[in-house]
């Protein structure tokens, strides 16, 4: 009986130790969060050609082959006689959301204005832009650039090729 009594006490003592150990591990920290849901977007930056028109030219007919406005436009000058000069205007617009800086323009290839079958000096010769478009173009603002092309005296040497193609490019940047 004595041995049984001691054993009966020993068991609850062990259980108590186990309970204390499990209780301590059961607590966890409290936690709350606050969030900032962010959305970032870059600026829209784009120049488009909104108009191409002929200002002056004998019998010259300009044919715009690309729907405008467009970032890439094509135009043809037909029926230009020899030794003639055609003046054009090309209007670009900043349709982006930030100012376009350092706006420049130029002919994109060195052969523009010449029919491949024409000799040098006999085809359509581009001249320098009358108004170099440089500077800042605000969003929504447009810029008119002027161009001139001259046909050679010996235009008939082009073997009947009476059309001339040109390409004008515009470059601008935004940011630092």
Using the rule CB under 8 A, which residue among 8, 13, 15, 28 binds another protein? 28
- Using CB under 8 A as the binding rule, whether residue 45 contacts another protein is answered as yes
**Taking CB under 8 A as the rule, does residue 35 contact another protein?**
yes
Tell me, letter by letter, the H, E, C secondary structure of 150-172. EECCCHHHHCCCCEEECCEEEEE
Size of interface with another protein, in residues (CB under 8 A): 25
Distance, CA of 150 to CA of 11 (rounded, Å): 113
Q: Looking at 34-42, 85-93, 146-154, 161-169, which segment touches another protein (CB under 8 A)?
A: 34-42
Residue located via tokens 């028109």: 53
The DSSP symbol for 122 reads T
Stretch that binds another protein, among 15-23, 38-46, 69-77, 121-129 (CB under 8 A): 38-46
Residues 89-148 that bind another protein (CB under 8 A): 97-99
- Residue 45 burial by CB count (10 A; 0-12/13-18/19+): exposed, middle or buried? middle
Nearest to 139 by CA among 105, 92, 87: 92
Nearer to another protein, 43 or 131 (CB): 43
Coil vs helix vs strand at 100 = strand
| Sheet (strand 124-126) strand order | 47-56, 85-94, 142-151, 124-126
On the question of a cis peptide bond just before residue 83, with omega within 30 degrees of 0, the verdict is no
Under the binding rule (CB under 8 A), the answer on residue 39 touching another protein is yes
Q: Does 72 bind another protein (CB under 8 A)?
A: no
Q: Is 176 in the site for another protein (CB under 8 A)?
A: yes
Nearest distance, CB of residue 152 and another protein, angstroms:
39
Interface with another protein includes 2 (CB under 8 A)? no
Q: Is 22 in the site for another protein (CB under 8 A)?
A: no
Quick check: 26 binds another protein (CB under 8 A)? no
Q: Which residues bind another protein (CB under 8 A)?
A: 27-45, 97-99, 174-176
């Amino acid at each position: 009986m004595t041995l049984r009594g001691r054993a009966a006490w020993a068991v609850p003592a062990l259980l108590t130790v186990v309970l204390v150990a499990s209780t301590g591990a059961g607590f966890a920290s409290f936690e709350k969060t606050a969030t900032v849901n962010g959305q970032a977007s870059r600026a829209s930056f784009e120049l488009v050609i909104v108009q191409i028109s002929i200002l002056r030219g004998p019998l010259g007919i300009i044919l715009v082959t690309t729907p405008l406005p467009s970032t890439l436009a094509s135009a043809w000058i037909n029926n230009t006689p020899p030794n003639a000069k055609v003046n054009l205007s090309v209007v670009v617009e900043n349709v982006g959301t930030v100012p376009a800086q350092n706006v420049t323009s130029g002919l994109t290839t060195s052969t523009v204005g010449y029919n491949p079958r024409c000799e040098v000096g006999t085809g359509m010769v581009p001249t320098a832009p009358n108004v170099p478009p440089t500077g800042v173009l605000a969003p929504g603002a447009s810029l008119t650039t002027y161009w001139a092309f001259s046909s050679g005296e010996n235009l008939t040497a082009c073997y009947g090729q009476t059309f001339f193609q040109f390409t004008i490019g515009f470059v601008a940047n935004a940011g630092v």
